[in-house]
């Protein structure tokens, strides 16, 4: 009896001791959860706990040493880098998957392609009518995510050339709400993750070379890197814990792990 | 002995009751103090992120820029120094991420040990540069000018027309569109809900027979139990397209959609409370009125409503309170564009929706965080003001009557 309790106590102790903590971006969360589940199934001794909260939360936890891996849907910012340096912690960055953003419009909209410059004009409020980009004479209704979302920042940096959104842009609390609104508003334009794409709305072809080639968003074009509005998703970890986290990260990067990436709706790393 | 015990237990219960009421009041006071402490801290901060500096070349004539000017420069709406009182040269924008365009990784060093030296040289060599970087990398012998940025002022905050709290390098914290949006939506809601609610209350307390009342009352009270996100989704899927089609608008997410949803949400409060107040009119008063030959409608209009006016206004206050403080339903239907509304048929952004949507990702104690608490203070003051006004009005009415 006593031996049994000691054994259980030891098991609890070791599992607590070796549980790896993964924390950060809510975009990466569903993927990390799925990966952790399957990893723990095939690897009985491993213990992983995954929590969300946002990319910023993950980096803060990495600085405070309260997580082993920080998930992020954006690159580490300069000030976070400085904080890590001040704490004397070297870190490594691993790209684990990609997320493609589709620019969507209403199904009745004639326009089917836009350049990056046009998108910048639309979201900064310079272009206000669809006829300016070759569509019908109707006012544009621009939808974006709330400023707390990682997609908001990504779109600002990569599509809008770091300029600020116009004040007249409508901001929605969730991606689902954007799809709903765009599907019922004729002059609407918005952006969503590729995984949320459905038939209620139309995805636009996008050109990053001033209109020479237009690429439609899809799993294939995102995989072969021709589609430009793609953002990497990252894991960050301190080099001091590399030994303990390495097996899991190797699993994520393996063919099996990358299969899960596609199941969750993100774009796997191309080999 | 028995009486002593009885007395003691009574005292004990009285003590408990007092304790619970004082705990409640204390909690309210503590929350208000916390709210204002965090909110007022905003005015001690600069709109530029702490730990960062904005610098220019020392030959530049410009010495000071407002927060709005900085934002417009980085948005490339201001492209020449002449527009802000300088020379006729175009502005060269620089942020720390751009350092790779000027210096190689080797020049900066593995641990960024040469970064401050590089930044110093860069700002010194380009006469038209405006550079934004952490003050940590400000060299000791820095040769440029560090721009002075004023603290967030009351006028900037209350009269500013742009709410872009995440703008870099300088946040735009104008709350005028948010305050107006909140008032607009709440006003619309109460204009819709008050007449409808009052009419329903009069019908239920005076006209409807018992059978109808027994079905209707629980039905209306059920409205109060529906989660607000359900109202929000209902609004987004049903009311928003309806408004868009009816008024032939480019966009259906408008202040009116918010007003309708909030009006529906405020109805149960208004109806239940004012109906209870009307039913509390003494039977003697009603019968006296009828005996004097007044019709049913005259009795309602001249006796019941004046008698129960304080209850009705209490219902109205609580209804407005719900409308002003509601977050989730409004967040989903009003479109949340932070522009000053000129009509109720345009998208608006309300204060509670802003706090709900943004507070989760702000850094604790930062500028954005404090700005959202300051918004909370404004909301608190608006509600307080409405409560006091209605209290004042209903008190005066009572005095006139006697």
SS (H, E, C) chain B: CHHHHHHHHHHHHHHHHHHHHHHHHHHHHHHHHHHHHHHHHHHHCCCECCCEEEEECCCCCCCECCHHHHHHHHCCCCCEHHHHCCCCCECEEEEHHHHHHCCCHHHHCCCCCCHHHHHHHHHHHCCCEEEEEEHHHCCCCCCCEECECCCCCHHHHHHCCCEECCCCCECEECCHHHHHHHHHHHHHHHHHHHHHHHHHHHHHHHHCCHHHHHHHHHHHHHHCCCCHHHHHHHHHHHHHHHHHHHHCCCCCCCHHHHHHHHHHHHHHHHHHHHHHHHHCCCHHHHHHHHHCCCCHHHHHHHHHHHHCHHHHHHHHHHHHHHHHHCCHHHHHHCECCCCCCCCCCCCECCHHHHHHHHHHHCCCCCHHHHHHHHHHHHHHHHHHHHHHHHHHHHHHHHHHHC
pLDDT at B402: 47
Residue B213, both tokens: 């009342």
Distance, CA of A146 to CA of B327 (rounded, Å): 14
Instruction: Answer yes or no: do B250 and A165 touch at CB < 8 A.
Output: no
Q: Counting Cβ atoms within 10 Å, is residue B121 exposed (0-12), middle (13-18) or buried (19+)?
A: middle
Question: Is pLDDT of A179 > 60?
Answer: yes
φ, ψ (nearest 5 deg) of residue A72: -145, 140
d(C-alpha A185, C-alpha A201), whole Å: 10
| φ and ψ at residue A203, rounded to 5 degrees | -85, 140
- Other residues' Cβ atoms within 10 Å of the Cβ of residue B42: 23
Residues of B in contact with A170 (CB under 8 A): 251, 253, 335-337, 347
Q: In this prediction, what percent of chain B has a pLDDT beyond 90?
A: 30
Of the listed ranges A192-196, B198-202, B228-232, the one predicted with least confidence: A192-196
In this structure, of A13-22, A148-157, B171-180, the range with the lowest mean pLDDT score is A13-22
Distance from CA of B33 to the nearest CA of A (A): 27
Contact (Cβ atoms closer than 8 angstroms) between residue A245 and residue A237: yes
For A35-57, what is the mean pLDDT? 85
Mean residue pLDDT of chain A comes to 85
Side-chain-side CA neighbours of residue B244 (13 Å): 24
The H or E element containing residue A143 is strand A141-145
Give the model's pLDDT for residue B202.
Answer: 92
- Mean pLDDT, rounded, for A60-73: 86
A139 against B318, higher pLDDT: A139
B183 touches chain A (CB under 8 A): no
Asked whether residue A11 carries a pLDDT value surpassing 60, the answer given is no
Please judge whether A141 and B361 are an interchain contact, meaning their C-beta atoms are less than 8 angstroms apart.
Answer: no
Interface probe, candidates A181, A183, A187, A190, chain B, greatest B C-beta count within 10 A = A181
pLDDT of residue A13 exceeding 70, the answer is: no
A176: helix, strand or coil? helix
Mean pLDDT of B102-109: 80
Question: Mean pLDDT over residues A81-106, rounded?
Answer: 87
- List the single residue in B97, B251, B331 with the smallest CB-CB distance to A185: B251
Mutation site, B165, B337, B353, interface A, largest A CB count within 10 A: B337
pLDDT at A101 over 70: yes
Do A163 and B76 count as a contact with CB atoms less than 8 A apart? Answer: yes
Q: How many CB atoms lie within 10 A of CB A162?
A: 18
Length in residues, chain A:
271
The pLDDT of B290-302, averaged and rounded, is: 91
CB nearest B134 (choices: A78, A162, A185):
A78
Q: CB neighbours of A103 closer than 8 A, spacing ≥ 6?
A: A114, A119, A189, A190, A191, A203, A204, A206, A217, A229
Residue A214 in 3-state DSSP?
Answer: coil
- Chain B contact probe: residue of A75, A78, A150 with most B CBs at under 10 A: A78
Residue B109 pLDDT grade (very low, low, confident, very high; cuts 50, 70, 90): confident
Give A15's pLDDT tier (boundaries 50, 70, 90): very low
CB contact under 8 A, A165 and B164: yes
Residues of A with CB under 8 A from a CB of B: 54, 56, 78-79, 82, 85, 124, 138-139, 141, 146-149, 153, 162-165, 167-173, 177, 180-181, 184-188
Q: What is the mean pLDDT of residues A179-205?
A: 89
Which chain A residues have a beta carbon less than 8 Å from that of B136?
Answer: 82
Q: Render pLDDT for B18-60 as a digit per residue (tens, 0 to 9).
A: 999 999 999 999 999 999 998 998 888 888 877 788 888 888 8
Minimal CA separation from A63 to chain B, in Å? 14
- Find the mean pLDDT for residues B191-217: 91
* ipTM for the whole complex: 0.78
Quote the pTM value. 0.80
Are A171 and B336 a contacting pair at CB < 8 A?
yes
B360/A54 CB distance under 8 A: yes
B401 or B379, which is more confident?
B379
pLDDT band at residue A16 under the 50/70/90 scheme: very low
A175 contacts on B by Cβ (under 8 Å): none
Q: How many CB atoms lie within 10 A of CB B96?
A: 17
Could you give the angle at the alpha carbon of A156 between the alpha carbons of A73 and B356, nearest 5°? Answer: 70
Q: What is the pLDDT of residue B374?
A: 93
- Give the tens place of pLDDT for each residue, B66-76: 888 888 888 88
A187 φ/ψ angles, rounded to the nearest 5 degrees = -90, 20
Q: Quick check: B361 pLDDT over 70?
A: no
Residue with the larger pLDDT of the pair B97 and A267: A267
Q: Please, which pLDDT band fits residue B114 given cuts at 50, 70 and 90?
A: confident
| Cβ atoms of B350 and B177 closer than 8 Å | no
User: For all residues of chain B together, what is the average pLDDT?
Assistant: 86
């Amino acid at each position: 009896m006593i031996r049994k309790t000691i054994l259980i106590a030891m098991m609890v102790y070791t599992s607590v001791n070796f549980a790896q903590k993964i924390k950060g971006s809510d975009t990466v969360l569903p993927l990390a959860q799925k990966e952790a589940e399957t990893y723990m199934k095939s690897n009985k001794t491993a213990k992983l706990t995954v929590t969300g909260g946002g990319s910023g939360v993950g980096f803060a936890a990495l600085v405070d040493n309260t997580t082993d891996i920080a998930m992020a849907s954006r690159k580490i910012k300069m000030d976070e880098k400085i904080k890590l340096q001040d704490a004397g912690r070297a870190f490594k960055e691993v790209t684990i998957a990609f997320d493609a953003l589709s620019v969507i419009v209403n199904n009745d909209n004639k326009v089917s392609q836009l350049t990056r410059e046009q998108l910048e004009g639309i979201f900064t409020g310079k272009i206000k009518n669809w006829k300016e980009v070759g569509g019908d004479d109707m006012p544009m209704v621009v939808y974006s995510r709330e400023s707390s979302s990682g997609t908001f920042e990504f779109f600002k940096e990569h599509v809008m050339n770091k300029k600020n959104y116009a004040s007249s842009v409508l901001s929605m609390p969730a991606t689902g709400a954007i799809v709903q609104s765009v599907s019922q508003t004729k002059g609407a334009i918005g952006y969503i993750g590729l995984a949320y794409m459905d038939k209620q709305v139309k995805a636009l072809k996008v050109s990053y070379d001033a209109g020479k080639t237009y690429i439609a968003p899809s799993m294939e074009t995102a995989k072969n890197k021709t589609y430009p509005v793609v953002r990497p998703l990252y894991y960050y970890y301190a080099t001091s814990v590399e030994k303990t986290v390495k097996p899991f990260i190797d699993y994520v990067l393996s063919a099996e792990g990358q299969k899960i990436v596609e199941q969750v709706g993100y774009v796997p790393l191309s080999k | 002995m028995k009486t002593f015990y009885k007395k003691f237990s009574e005292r004990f219960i009285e003590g408990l009751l007092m304790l619970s009421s004082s705990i409640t009041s204390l909690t309210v006071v503590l929350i208000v103090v916390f709210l204002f402490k965090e909110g007022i801290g905003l005015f001690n901060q600069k709109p530029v992120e702490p730990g960062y500096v904005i610098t220019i070349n020392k030959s530049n004539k410009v010495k000071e820029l407002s927060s709005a000017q900085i934002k417009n420069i980085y948005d490339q709406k201001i492209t020449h120094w002449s527009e802000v009182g300088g020379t006729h040269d175009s502005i060269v924008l620089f942020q720390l991420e751009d350092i790779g365009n000027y210096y190689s990784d080797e020049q900066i060093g593995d641990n960024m040990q040469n970064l401050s030296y590089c930044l110093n040289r860069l700002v010194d060599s380009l006469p038209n540069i405006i550079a934004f970087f952490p003050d940590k990398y400000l060299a000791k012998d820095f040769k440029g000018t560090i721009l002075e940025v004023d603290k967030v002022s009351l006028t900037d905050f209350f009269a500013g027309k742009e709410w872009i709290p995440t703008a870099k390098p300088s946040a735009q914290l104008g709350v005028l569109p948010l305050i107006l949006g909140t008032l607009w939506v709440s006003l619309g809601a109460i204009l819709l809900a008050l007449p409808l609610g009052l009419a329903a209350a009069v019908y239920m307390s005076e006209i409807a027979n018992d059978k109808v009342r027994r079905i209707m009352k629980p039905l209306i009270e059920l409205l109060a139990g529906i989660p607000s996100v359900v109202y929000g989704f209902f609004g987004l899927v049903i009311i928003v397209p309806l408004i868009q089609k009816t008024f032939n608008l480019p966009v259906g997410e408008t202040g009116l959609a918010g007003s309708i949803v909030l009006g529906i949400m405020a109805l149960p409060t208004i109806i239940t409370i004012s109906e209870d107040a009307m039913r509390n009119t003494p039977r003697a008063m009603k019968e006296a009125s009828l005996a004097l030959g007044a019709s049913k409608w005259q009795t309602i209009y001249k006796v019941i409503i004046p008698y129960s006016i304080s209850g009705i206004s209490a219902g109205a206050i609580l209804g407005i309170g719900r409308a002003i403080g509601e977050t989730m339903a409004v967040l989903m239907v009003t479109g949340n564009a932070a522009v000053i509304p000129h009509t109720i048929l345009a998208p608006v952004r309300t204060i509670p929706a802003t706090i709900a949507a943004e507070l989760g990702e702000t850094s604790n104690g930062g500028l954005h965080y404090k700005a959202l608490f300051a918004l909370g203070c404004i909301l608190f003051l608006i509600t307080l003001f409405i409560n006091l006004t209605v209290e004042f009005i209903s008190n005066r009415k009572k005095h006139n009557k006697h």
